[in-house]
Amino acid sequence: MVKRVDEAVFSTVQDVKDGKFTAGAKKYDLKANGVGLTEMKYTKDKIPADAMKRLEAVKADIISGKITVPTS
């Protein structure tokens, strides 16, 4: 799991540059590329291809709203 702080910073700077910045809480989820899986540099070759396909399918279902991830 990776928190993409770079995406949040870039988005904020872009909003300031474009005059669209508003203060307050922002949501950087999977759909907004705010979180994701690591590139699995050392483990990807140890994960079966069908499991990787399933991960991508679950990711797509979360982004589309078919699967709702609980929040705290």
What's the distance, CA 50 to chain centroid? 21
Give residue for tokens 């590139």: 39
The Cα–Cα gap between 27 and 31 comes to 10
Same domain flag for 52 and 21: no
pTM of the model: 0.73
Q: What is the mean pLDDT of the chain?
A: 93
pLDDT number for residue 55: 93
Same domain flag for 67 and 56: yes
Same domain flag for 41 and 71: yes
Same domain flag for 3 and 30: yes
pLDDT above 80: residue 61: yes
Domain span including residue 24:
1-35
pLDDT number for residue 1: 87
pLDDT tens-digit series, residues 8-36 = 999 999 999 999 999 999 989 999 999 99
* DSSP 8-state assignment for residue 67: S
Same domain flag for 4 and 26: yes
Same domain flag for 25 and 6: yes
